[in-house]
Structure 1
Amino acid sequence: MGTVIVVGDLVTDVLVEHDGPIRAGSDTAAAIRVSGGGQAANTAAWLARAGRATTLVAAVGADQAGRDRVAELVTAGVGDAIQVRAGAVTGSVVVLTGADERTMITDRGACLLLDPEHVTAAIRAAAPGGHLHLSGYPLLHAGSRPAGLAALTAAKDQGITVSVDAASAAPLRDAGAELFLAWVRGVDLLLCNADEATVLAGPGDAVAQASRLTEFVQHAVVKRGAGGAVWASRDGSSWSVPGVPVPVKDPTGAGDAFAAGLLAAWLAGAAPPDALTSGAALGAAAVQHVGARPPRPVGLDRDTRLGPDPAAGSRGSF
């Protein structure tokens, strides 16, 4: 099996797990942790955990945060094709999270400076039989869009399969569904959550949304959190799997873990129902701990904690 080349974002996550509703203008108890994040980087880390050879193509600043973020991924077994941009700062995201939802406040930093030539060279250097997984974030921001489009072009030139994650509903609306679907037209697999599917395919049930998206891509997957996920193919076939009931600690990165589990199985030859099941299992594993990455071995956890540790949330899934 070839290497999965993951292109997208690598940032610092400041995870704020607040105890109850945020009380504007006053104090809210929280557990605060600093760790690696970014949709592409998270997916790459979970792919490595699933045993798949993976290389991340991203950009960080020439700062301590960038060095820490790269070191974490190398330790996790992810190949390093990460560009260091002098004079830039590594991107960061404040994640306000509880058991049922999370809100992100983002400074994309060096992510916006990812060089199209760097991306093209990394994909061309990949061994035959590889796969490109593109986070939608580079496409959704004007500064990084040339790099995202270059990744799609290079993959097509190399004749490798391509998957794209739709990334986030709000910037999808800003970019426009018609433009985004034109950018990803013809790719092998498009993944989106329920909100993103509504932006791209309009309202409706997940099977109908996924089926409409196959007018643009070969296969489409809609993630429904605790409701499971559906897969539709251009030939009219569709499959659904339920969610995996588990205690939810933090939903951050669960969709990235789902994508990794699905890709690891599908690229190894699994049929869509089995790939969905693999994705659901890894997504369920992700929500049972705080943070977007696979848990680090005991003794390597350097997270900073402030305030009480909130209890685990209600039962749910990715």
Structure 2
Amino acid sequence: MTTETDVLVLGGAGVDTVVHVPELPVPYADSYMIRPGIVTRAGQSGDFVALGVSALGLRAHHIDLVGADPEGDLVRALHRDRGIPLTDVPSAAGTKRAVNLVGPDGRRLSLYDDTRSQESDRLPEDTLRALAASSRHAHVVITHPCSYALPLLREAGLTVSTDLHNWDGVNPYHEPFALAADLVFLSTTALADPEHTMRDIAARGRARIVVATAGAEGAHLLVDGELTQVPAVAPPEPVVDSNGAGDAFAAAFLLGWLDGLDPLRCARYGAIAGAHACTVPSTRADAISRDQLLARVAESDADEQAAKVSG
């Protein structure tokens, strides 16, 4: 069957209410006057990955449970406006939502509304099979219903990626995702020993590639047992928000990976896209374009070559 989708994104559709605070953690006070205001916009992890790969020229399709509520309307509008196909499965509990507290340095604290999910939530198997049959790759967000989709994706023959976000390397909730994916992303934020966790994922699971992002310190890349340090990329403009940086990294990495590029090259794509995301205000859901990414990759290559010549 001819593929219609490059990246099928499962889960992670939702809405964030963005609140700028004077510092994190927020000191107790009876009230705060907030500028530049409080904004509610569509855009959680799955939305950002779908938006990211689409902006990079890949064909995306997003599926998740979405409510018949104002938050769901925002999610549907985001996909409609950006031309990204969305299969929105009705959710009785409502659309996922969160409050993001954003500090002056761009760091954030996310408060997720856990009432917007139910134990019985599932993505319909027949719909998933049809979408998987016309897709090249699946990126799975670590939301509860998506864990049940992992065997089906494997049965369909798709390669799978996932982002474990700030996993501590111990919480069993993340393990089904970590061990079922061919390509695993995670953050070093909560890891006592990133290399140990990365090697454990590769040893016990399917992943040939594990990437642990470390913010301003770059990223760690494990490929077939070989660990490489990926240098950080300086953001092109001042950092205003780190929200979505990991999703942007994953989207750009997937662009290179699906094009058959070397994993280290893919990681450079990811680092550039992640740095760009940090310059986008949290009140917007925007992603680096393919032209922007490739232009910055070319600039980075030229700078690296010049440094070698002068050295």
| Short-chain TM bin | 0.7 to 0.9
Partner of 1:312: none
Match of 2:304 in 1: none
For structure 1, the 5+ residue unaligned runs are: 139-143, 297-318
1:209 to 1:125, Cα distance in 2 relative to 1, 3 A? closer
Q: What's the CA shift string for 1:218-237, capped at 9, x where partnerless?
A: 2211000111112112x322
Which residue in the other structure is 1:212 paired with? 200
Structure 2 match to 1:91: 96
Q: Indicate how the Cα distance of structure 1 residues 58 and 52 shifts in structure 2: closer, same or farther if over 3 A, else same.
A: same
The 5 A counterparts of 1:147-296 are: 147-169=145-167, 176-178=170-172, 180-196=174-190, 198=191, 203-204=192-193, 206-215=194-203, 216=205, 217-233=207-223, 235-246=224-235, 247-291=238-282, 293-294=285-286
Secondary structure in 2 aligned to 1:181?
helix
Q: Note closer, same or farther for the CA distance 1:227–1:96 as it changes in structure 2 (3 Å cut).
A: same
Deviations 1:42-62 (A, max 9, x none): 111111111111111111111
Paired residues of 2:12 and 2:141 also in contact (CA < 8 A): yes
Distance change >3 Å, CA 231–CA 16, structure 1 → 2: same
Structure 1 residue 26 displacement after superposition = 2.3
* Alignment match, 2:45: 39
SS of corresponding position for 1:195: coil
The answer to whether the 8 Å contact 1:133/1:162 transfers is yes
- Relative to the length of structure 1, the TM-score reads 0.78
CA contact (8 A) 2:178 2:201 kept: no
Cα deviation, residue 10, structure 1: 1.4
1:132 equivalent to 2:141? Answer no
3-state SS, counterpart of residue 3 of structure 1: strand
- Note the alpha carbon deviations across 1:162-199, whole angstroms, 9 max, x for none: 01111343xx67xx545633554242111100035x2x
Q: CA RMSD in A?
A: 2.5
Cα distance in 1 for residues equivalent to 2:136 and 2:29: 51
What is the DSSP-based 3-state SS (H/G/I as helix, E as strand, rest coil) of the residue aligned with 1:130? strand
Distance 1:182 1:38 in 2: 21
Whole-Å separation in 2 of the counterparts to 1:165 and 1:16? 25
Write the distance in 2 (CA, Å) between the matches of 1:232 and 1:243: 16
Q: Percent identity?
A: 25
Aligned positions, number: 276
* Gap change, CA 1:295 and 1:18, over 3 Å in 2: farther
Structure 1 position 120, deviation (Å): 5.3
| One-letter amino acid matched to 1:149 | S
Taking the aligned partners of 2:164 and 2:264, their CA distance within structure 1 comes to: 21
Q: Which residue of 1 aligns with 2:307?
A: none
Unaligned runs of 5+ in 2: 289-311
Check the 8 A contact 1:239/1:272 in 2, yes or no: no
Deviations 1:229-284 (A, max 9, x none): 12112x32233321111221011111111111111211121111111011111111
Offset of 1:101 from its aligned partner?
1.9
Post-superposition offset of 1:109: 4.7
TM-score by structure 2 length?
0.80
In structure 2, the residue corresponding to 1:245 is in which secondary structure?
A: coil
Q: Equivalent residue for 1:19?
A: 22
After superposition, the Cα gap between the structure-2 partners of 1:71 and 1:126, relative to the gap in structure 1 and judged at 3 Å, is: same
Matched residues in 2 for 1:63 and 1:165: separation? 27
Is the Cα contact below 8 Å between 2:42 and 2:71 reproduced in 1?
no
State the match for 1:303 in structure 2: none
